[in-house]
Chains A and B, each alone.
Chain A
Amino acid sequence: MQHLDGNAVAGQLADYFSFDVTAATARCNGCGSIAEFARAMVYRSGAGTVVRCGSCDQVLATIVEAGDRAWIGFSGVSAIEVRRG
Protein backbone atom coordinates (compact mmCIF):
# COMPACT_ATOMS: atom_id res chain seq x y z
CA MET A 1 0.00 0.00 0.00
CA GLN A 2 1.26 3.42 -0.94
CA HIS A 3 1.96 5.75 1.96
CA LEU A 4 1.72 9.47 2.51
CA ASP A 5 3.57 11.73 4.93
CA GLY A 6 2.39 12.58 8.40
CA ASN A 7 1.41 15.95 6.91
CA ALA A 8 -1.62 14.23 5.46
CA VAL A 9 -3.35 13.76 8.81
CA ALA A 10 -3.17 17.44 9.78
CA GLY A 11 -6.80 18.10 8.93
CA GLN A 12 -8.09 14.91 10.51
CA LEU A 13 -6.31 15.58 13.81
CA ALA A 14 -7.10 19.30 13.82
CA ASP A 15 -10.70 18.28 14.46
CA TYR A 16 -9.67 16.80 17.83
CA PHE A 17 -6.57 18.65 19.07
CA SER A 18 -5.98 22.32 19.71
CA PHE A 19 -2.42 22.18 18.39
CA ASP A 20 -1.01 20.98 15.08
CA VAL A 21 -0.02 17.41 15.90
CA THR A 22 1.95 17.04 12.65
CA ALA A 23 4.39 19.78 13.70
CA ALA A 24 4.89 18.21 17.16
CA THR A 25 7.83 15.86 17.67
CA ALA A 26 7.28 12.37 19.01
CA ARG A 27 9.61 9.73 20.42
CA CYS A 28 9.09 6.29 18.95
CA ASN A 29 8.76 3.45 21.45
CA GLY A 30 10.31 1.05 18.98
CA CYS A 31 13.60 2.68 18.04
CA GLY A 32 13.76 5.78 20.22
CA SER A 33 14.09 8.15 17.31
CA ILE A 34 12.54 11.58 17.69
CA ALA A 35 10.90 13.25 14.72
CA GLU A 36 8.00 15.46 13.77
CA PHE A 37 4.77 13.56 13.11
CA ALA A 38 4.88 15.12 9.65
CA ARG A 39 7.93 12.93 8.93
CA ALA A 40 6.11 9.70 9.79
CA MET A 41 4.45 7.46 7.20
CA VAL A 42 0.70 7.39 6.86
CA TYR A 43 -1.23 4.39 5.55
CA ARG A 44 -4.93 4.79 4.86
CA SER A 45 -7.59 2.17 4.28
CA GLY A 46 -11.30 1.76 4.74
CA ALA A 47 -10.65 0.70 8.31
CA GLY A 48 -8.79 3.81 9.31
CA THR A 49 -5.42 5.51 9.37
CA VAL A 50 -2.15 4.04 10.64
CA VAL A 51 0.85 6.27 11.33
CA ARG A 52 4.19 4.47 11.31
CA CYS A 53 7.67 5.56 12.40
CA GLY A 54 9.74 6.78 9.45
CA SER A 55 12.83 5.10 10.89
CA CYS A 56 11.69 1.66 12.10
CA ASP A 57 8.14 1.16 10.80
CA GLN A 58 6.67 0.75 14.27
CA VAL A 59 3.03 1.79 14.56
CA LEU A 60 3.03 5.19 16.28
CA ALA A 61 -0.63 6.06 16.12
CA THR A 62 -3.97 4.88 14.80
CA ILE A 63 -7.07 6.86 13.92
CA VAL A 64 -10.44 5.25 13.37
CA GLU A 65 -13.52 7.32 12.67
CA ALA A 66 -17.04 5.95 12.47
CA GLY A 67 -20.28 7.83 12.70
CA ASP A 68 -20.13 10.41 15.46
CA ARG A 69 -17.15 8.86 17.24
CA ALA A 70 -13.42 8.60 16.72
CA TRP A 71 -10.78 6.38 18.32
CA ILE A 72 -7.29 7.83 18.45
CA GLY A 73 -4.43 5.73 19.79
CA PHE A 74 -0.81 6.72 20.34
CA SER A 75 0.34 3.23 21.20
CA GLY A 76 3.87 3.59 19.80
CA VAL A 77 4.73 7.01 21.17
CA SER A 78 6.34 7.55 24.54
CA ALA A 79 6.30 11.36 24.54
CA ILE A 80 5.20 14.26 22.39
CA GLU A 81 6.90 17.64 22.39
CA VAL A 82 4.58 20.53 21.63
CA ARG A 83 5.54 24.14 20.92
CA ARG A 84 3.74 26.39 23.38
CA GLY A 85 4.59 29.68 21.60
Chain B
Amino acid sequence: MSDRPSLSTDAAARAVPGGGALTPAATGATAAPAAPAAPAAPPARSAVPRAAWHSAAVVAVTRETPTAARLELEVDGWPGNAAGQHLDVRLTAPDGYTATRSYSIASSGPGSRVVLAVDKLPDGEVSPFLVDELRTGDLLEVHGPLGAFFVWRPVEERSLAPARPVQLIAGGSGVVPLFAMARAHADAEDLTPLRMLYSVRTPDDVYFADELMALAEASDAFRLDLVYTRRIPAAWPTPPGRIMREALAAAVIPAAERPLVYVCGSTGFVERVASWLIELGHDAGSIRTERFGGT
Protein backbone atom coordinates (compact mmCIF):
# COMPACT_ATOMS: atom_id res chain seq x y z
CA MET B 1 0.00 0.00 0.00
CA SER B 2 1.18 3.41 -0.57
CA ASP B 3 -1.45 5.76 0.69
CA ARG B 4 -4.49 4.74 2.65
CA PRO B 5 -7.06 7.40 2.05
CA SER B 6 -9.57 5.76 4.31
CA LEU B 7 -7.34 6.44 7.27
CA SER B 8 -8.50 10.00 7.15
CA THR B 9 -11.53 10.74 9.22
CA ASP B 10 -14.34 12.82 7.85
CA ALA B 11 -13.72 15.33 10.59
CA ALA B 12 -10.09 15.59 9.61
CA ALA B 13 -10.95 16.02 5.96
CA ARG B 14 -13.24 18.89 6.81
CA ALA B 15 -10.77 20.60 9.07
CA VAL B 16 -8.27 21.56 6.41
CA PRO B 17 -9.61 23.80 3.67
CA GLY B 18 -6.56 23.66 1.40
CA GLY B 19 -4.17 20.84 0.65
CA GLY B 20 -1.06 22.90 1.18
CA ALA B 21 -1.59 23.82 4.80
CA LEU B 22 0.33 20.92 6.23
CA THR B 23 4.05 20.94 6.83
CA PRO B 24 6.29 18.59 8.80
CA ALA B 25 6.18 19.58 12.45
CA ALA B 26 9.09 21.66 13.54
CA THR B 27 8.53 20.98 17.21
CA GLY B 28 8.11 17.24 17.10
CA ALA B 29 11.07 16.81 14.81
CA THR B 30 13.76 17.19 17.43
CA ALA B 31 15.08 13.91 18.76
CA ALA B 32 14.12 12.82 22.25
CA PRO B 33 16.97 12.22 24.71
CA ALA B 34 18.38 8.74 24.37
CA ALA B 35 16.66 6.21 26.61
CA PRO B 36 18.79 4.10 28.96
CA ALA B 37 19.95 0.91 27.30
CA ALA B 38 17.51 -1.96 27.70
CA PRO B 39 18.68 -5.22 29.30
CA ALA B 40 20.24 -7.36 26.58
CA ALA B 41 17.58 -10.04 26.34
CA PRO B 42 17.67 -11.84 23.00
CA PRO B 43 14.43 -11.07 21.21
CA ALA B 44 12.22 -13.99 20.32
CA ARG B 45 12.08 -14.81 16.64
CA SER B 46 8.48 -13.64 16.45
CA ALA B 47 9.26 -10.30 18.06
CA VAL B 48 9.46 -7.15 16.01
CA PRO B 49 11.15 -3.94 17.15
CA ARG B 50 9.08 -1.76 19.44
CA ALA B 51 7.16 1.05 17.76
CA ALA B 52 7.93 4.63 18.70
CA TRP B 53 7.78 8.13 17.27
CA HIS B 54 10.92 9.14 15.43
CA SER B 55 12.27 12.13 13.55
CA ALA B 56 13.06 11.27 9.94
CA ALA B 57 15.22 13.33 7.59
CA VAL B 58 14.48 13.11 3.89
CA VAL B 59 17.63 11.87 2.16
CA ALA B 60 16.26 11.57 -1.35
CA VAL B 61 13.01 12.05 -3.25
CA THR B 62 12.81 10.46 -6.68
CA ARG B 63 10.02 9.88 -9.15
CA GLU B 64 8.83 6.28 -8.95
CA THR B 65 5.93 6.33 -11.42
CA PRO B 66 4.01 9.20 -13.08
CA THR B 67 1.92 9.48 -9.90
CA ALA B 68 4.25 8.24 -7.19
CA ALA B 69 7.50 9.23 -5.48
CA ARG B 70 10.13 7.15 -3.76
CA LEU B 71 11.21 8.63 -0.43
CA GLU B 72 14.44 7.63 1.25
CA LEU B 73 14.50 8.55 4.93
CA GLU B 74 17.20 8.55 7.58
CA VAL B 75 15.23 7.84 10.74
CA ASP B 76 16.77 8.86 14.03
CA GLY B 77 16.71 5.92 16.45
CA TRP B 78 14.91 3.57 14.03
CA PRO B 79 15.26 0.01 15.41
CA GLY B 80 15.05 -1.64 12.00
CA ASN B 81 11.98 -3.37 10.64
CA ALA B 82 10.77 -6.65 9.20
CA ALA B 83 9.67 -6.93 5.57
CA GLY B 84 6.00 -6.03 5.26
CA GLN B 85 5.71 -3.61 8.17
CA HIS B 86 4.37 -0.08 7.84
CA LEU B 87 4.78 3.27 9.53
CA ASP B 88 2.58 6.27 10.17
CA VAL B 89 3.58 9.72 8.94
CA ARG B 90 2.21 12.70 10.87
CA LEU B 91 2.06 16.18 9.39
CA THR B 92 1.26 19.17 11.56
CA ALA B 93 -0.17 22.45 10.34
CA PRO B 94 0.87 25.77 11.89
CA ASP B 95 -2.43 25.87 13.80
CA GLY B 96 -1.70 22.49 15.40
CA TYR B 97 -4.03 20.46 13.21
CA THR B 98 -2.45 17.10 12.42
CA ALA B 99 -3.02 14.47 9.76
CA THR B 100 -1.63 10.96 10.02
CA ARG B 101 -1.42 8.35 7.27
CA SER B 102 0.00 4.86 7.05
CA TYR B 103 2.61 3.89 4.46
CA SER B 104 4.13 0.51 3.81
CA ILE B 105 7.89 0.25 4.06
CA ALA B 106 9.69 -0.92 0.92
CA SER B 107 12.87 -1.78 2.80
CA SER B 108 13.71 -4.08 5.71
CA GLY B 109 16.58 -4.98 7.98
CA PRO B 110 18.42 -3.47 10.93
CA GLY B 111 19.54 -0.12 9.49
CA SER B 112 18.08 3.34 10.06
CA ARG B 113 17.48 4.00 6.35
CA VAL B 114 13.83 3.53 5.41
CA VAL B 115 12.42 3.58 1.89
CA LEU B 116 8.79 4.45 1.14
CA ALA B 117 6.98 4.69 -2.17
CA VAL B 118 3.97 6.99 -1.98
CA ASP B 119 1.19 7.17 -4.54
CA LYS B 120 -0.39 10.61 -4.91
CA LEU B 121 -4.12 10.66 -4.36
CA PRO B 122 -5.42 13.77 -6.16
CA ASP B 123 -7.75 14.74 -3.32
CA GLY B 124 -5.51 13.36 -0.60
CA GLU B 125 -4.48 15.38 2.40
CA VAL B 126 -1.00 13.99 2.95
CA SER B 127 0.18 12.21 -0.19
CA PRO B 128 0.23 15.30 -2.50
CA PHE B 129 2.54 16.98 -0.02
CA LEU B 130 4.83 13.95 0.22
CA VAL B 131 4.96 13.42 -3.55
CA ASP B 132 5.15 17.02 -4.81
CA GLU B 133 6.40 19.25 -2.01
CA LEU B 134 8.83 17.21 0.04
CA ARG B 135 12.51 18.08 -0.46
CA THR B 136 15.82 16.60 0.61
CA GLY B 137 16.62 17.73 4.13
CA ASP B 138 13.00 18.11 5.24
CA LEU B 139 12.02 16.47 8.51
CA LEU B 140 9.03 14.22 9.05
CA GLU B 141 7.50 12.67 12.15
CA VAL B 142 7.16 8.93 11.71
CA HIS B 143 5.69 6.26 14.02
CA GLY B 144 6.87 2.73 13.66
CA PRO B 145 7.75 0.11 12.80
CA LEU B 146 4.13 -1.01 12.94
CA GLY B 147 2.30 -4.30 12.47
CA ALA B 148 3.72 -7.70 13.36
CA PHE B 149 1.10 -9.61 11.38
CA PHE B 150 1.68 -8.70 7.72
CA VAL B 151 5.36 -9.64 7.79
CA TRP B 152 7.52 -12.29 6.20
CA ARG B 153 10.99 -13.34 7.27
CA PRO B 154 13.58 -15.22 5.25
CA VAL B 155 14.36 -18.72 6.42
CA GLU B 156 17.08 -18.82 9.05
CA GLU B 157 20.01 -21.02 8.19
CA ARG B 158 19.58 -23.28 11.17
CA SER B 159 15.82 -23.52 10.95
CA LEU B 160 14.66 -27.12 11.01
CA ALA B 161 11.15 -26.47 9.80
CA PRO B 162 10.78 -26.87 6.04
CA ALA B 163 9.84 -23.51 4.59
CA ARG B 164 6.51 -23.11 2.87
CA PRO B 165 6.51 -21.52 -0.57
CA VAL B 166 5.35 -17.92 -0.63
CA GLN B 167 2.91 -16.27 -3.03
CA LEU B 168 2.79 -12.47 -3.13
CA ILE B 169 -0.15 -10.80 -4.86
CA ALA B 170 -0.02 -7.04 -5.42
CA GLY B 171 -2.53 -4.58 -6.81
CA GLY B 172 -0.99 -1.23 -7.85
CA SER B 173 0.90 0.48 -5.06
CA GLY B 174 0.12 -2.56 -2.89
CA VAL B 175 3.40 -3.91 -4.19
CA VAL B 176 5.41 -1.83 -1.74
CA PRO B 177 5.46 -4.19 1.29
CA LEU B 178 5.66 -7.20 -1.02
CA PHE B 179 8.72 -5.73 -2.72
CA ALA B 180 10.33 -5.53 0.73
CA MET B 181 9.66 -9.26 1.13
CA ALA B 182 11.11 -10.11 -2.30
CA ARG B 183 14.20 -8.04 -1.57
CA ALA B 184 14.63 -9.66 1.86
CA HIS B 185 14.31 -13.08 0.22
CA ALA B 186 17.06 -12.21 -2.27
CA ASP B 187 19.35 -10.57 0.29
CA ALA B 188 19.16 -13.67 2.50
CA GLU B 189 19.80 -15.92 -0.50
CA ASP B 190 16.72 -17.80 0.64
CA LEU B 191 15.89 -20.66 -1.73
CA THR B 192 12.25 -20.90 -0.68
CA PRO B 193 10.11 -20.59 -3.82
CA LEU B 194 8.72 -17.06 -3.92
CA ARG B 195 6.32 -15.93 -6.59
CA MET B 196 4.89 -12.47 -7.13
CA LEU B 197 1.76 -11.70 -9.11
CA TYR B 198 1.59 -7.96 -9.72
CA SER B 199 -1.47 -6.31 -11.23
CA VAL B 200 -0.77 -2.80 -12.49
CA ARG B 201 -2.42 -0.34 -14.87
CA THR B 202 0.34 0.25 -17.43
CA PRO B 203 4.06 -0.50 -17.83
CA ASP B 204 4.79 3.05 -16.62
CA ASP B 205 3.02 2.37 -13.34
CA VAL B 206 5.24 -0.50 -12.21
CA TYR B 207 6.90 0.32 -8.89
CA PHE B 208 10.50 -0.83 -8.44
CA ALA B 209 10.45 -1.98 -12.05
CA ASP B 210 14.23 -2.26 -12.50
CA GLU B 211 14.73 -3.87 -9.10
CA LEU B 212 11.97 -6.43 -9.64
CA MET B 213 13.28 -7.43 -13.07
CA ALA B 214 16.80 -7.76 -11.64
CA LEU B 215 15.56 -9.92 -8.75
CA ALA B 216 13.66 -12.16 -11.15
CA GLU B 217 16.70 -12.54 -13.39
CA ALA B 218 19.13 -13.14 -10.56
CA SER B 219 17.28 -15.91 -8.77
CA ASP B 220 15.53 -19.08 -9.90
CA ALA B 221 13.68 -19.06 -6.57
CA PHE B 222 11.87 -15.79 -7.39
CA ARG B 223 9.35 -15.52 -10.18
CA LEU B 224 7.54 -12.37 -11.25
CA ASP B 225 4.23 -12.37 -13.15
CA LEU B 226 2.85 -9.04 -14.33
CA VAL B 227 -0.75 -8.35 -15.29
CA TYR B 228 -1.57 -5.04 -17.05
CA THR B 229 -5.09 -3.77 -16.59
CA ARG B 230 -5.14 -0.71 -18.93
CA ARG B 231 -2.20 -0.78 -21.36
CA ILE B 232 0.30 -3.51 -22.26
CA PRO B 233 3.91 -3.29 -23.46
CA ALA B 234 4.66 -4.08 -27.09
CA ALA B 235 4.35 -7.77 -27.99
CA TRP B 236 2.70 -8.66 -24.68
CA PRO B 237 0.88 -11.98 -25.10
CA THR B 238 -2.39 -11.09 -23.37
CA PRO B 239 -4.70 -8.08 -23.81
CA PRO B 240 -5.01 -5.58 -20.97
CA GLY B 241 -7.65 -6.38 -18.39
CA ARG B 242 -8.33 -7.06 -14.77
CA ILE B 243 -7.10 -10.36 -13.50
CA MET B 244 -9.90 -12.92 -13.35
CA ARG B 245 -10.28 -16.10 -11.38
CA GLU B 246 -8.90 -18.47 -14.00
CA ALA B 247 -5.85 -16.30 -14.66
CA LEU B 248 -5.26 -16.06 -10.92
CA ALA B 249 -5.43 -19.84 -10.61
CA ALA B 250 -2.86 -20.21 -13.38
CA ALA B 251 -0.44 -17.64 -11.96
CA VAL B 252 -0.30 -18.53 -8.27
CA ILE B 253 1.33 -21.42 -6.42
CA PRO B 254 -1.34 -24.15 -6.24
CA ALA B 255 -3.21 -24.66 -2.97
CA ALA B 256 -1.88 -28.23 -2.83
CA GLU B 257 1.61 -26.83 -2.19
CA ARG B 258 0.27 -24.97 0.86
CA PRO B 259 1.82 -21.58 0.12
CA LEU B 260 1.75 -18.67 2.50
CA VAL B 261 -0.11 -15.96 0.60
CA TYR B 262 0.26 -12.21 1.10
CA VAL B 263 -2.21 -9.95 -0.70
CA CYS B 264 -1.94 -6.16 -0.69
CA GLY B 265 -3.93 -3.65 -2.71
CA SER B 266 -7.10 -1.63 -2.73
CA THR B 267 -9.98 -3.00 -0.67
CA GLY B 268 -11.82 -4.12 -3.81
CA PHE B 269 -8.77 -5.89 -5.24
CA VAL B 270 -8.03 -7.68 -1.99
CA GLU B 271 -11.66 -8.75 -1.55
CA ARG B 272 -11.82 -10.28 -5.03
CA VAL B 273 -8.47 -12.02 -4.85
CA ALA B 274 -8.99 -13.37 -1.33
CA SER B 275 -12.41 -14.83 -2.15
CA TRP B 276 -11.04 -16.51 -5.29
CA LEU B 277 -8.12 -17.94 -3.34
CA ILE B 278 -10.56 -19.54 -0.89
CA GLU B 279 -12.58 -20.96 -3.80
CA LEU B 280 -9.36 -22.34 -5.26
CA GLY B 281 -8.78 -24.29 -2.06
CA HIS B 282 -6.31 -22.06 -0.23
CA ASP B 283 -6.54 -22.18 3.55
CA ALA B 284 -7.95 -18.92 4.92
CA GLY B 285 -5.47 -19.05 7.78
CA SER B 286 -2.58 -19.03 5.30
CA ILE B 287 -3.76 -15.85 3.56
CA ARG B 288 -2.69 -12.51 4.99
CA THR B 289 -4.17 -9.37 3.56
CA GLU B 290 -3.57 -5.65 3.74
CA ARG B 291 -6.22 -3.35 2.30
CA PHE B 292 -5.55 0.31 1.78
CA GLY B 293 -9.00 1.51 0.87
CA GLY B 294 -9.48 3.29 -2.42
CA THR B 295 -11.30 1.77 -5.35
Contacts and interface: CB of A to CB of B under 8 A. Distances in A.
Given A3-B267, A14-B143, A8 B148 contact: no
A36 B290 CA distance: 13
Contacts of B88: 11
Nearest to B10: A46
A77 B51 CA distance: 24
Interface string B280-295: 0000000011111100
Contact of A20 (B7, B8, B148, B289): B148
B100 interface: yes
Interface in B45-75: 45-48, 51
B44 A85 contact: yes
Given A10-B147, A38-B149, A4 B293 contact: yes
Given A2-B6, A23-B149, A44-B7, A11 B44 contact: no
B247 interface: no
A40 B88 CA distance: 20
Interface in A1-47: 2-8, 10-11, 14-15, 20, 22-23, 36-39, 44-46
Interface in B260-295: 267, 288-293
B85 to A, nearest CB: 9
**Chain B residues touching A, range:** 35 or more
A53 B288 CA distance: 15
A83 interface: yes
A80 B247 CA distance: 39
A4 B6 contact: yes
B256 interface: no
A5 B290 CA distance: 6
Given A2-B293, A38-B149, A85-B44, A20 B9 contact: no
A44 B14 CA distance: 15
23 contacts: A2-B293, A3-B267, A4-B4, A4-B6, A4-B7, A4-B267, A4-B292, A5-B289, A5-B290, A6-B149, A8-B4, A8-B6, A8-B102, A8-B291, A11-B87, A14-B51, A15-B143, A20-B51, A20-B149, A23-B149, A38-B147, A45-B9, A46-B10
Given A11-B102, A11-B143, 7 more contacts: A5-B290, A7-B86, A7-B149, A11-B100, A14-B146, A20-B149, A83-B44
Interface of B: 4, 6-12, 14, 43-48, 51, 86-88, 100, 102, 143-144, 146-150, 267, 288-293
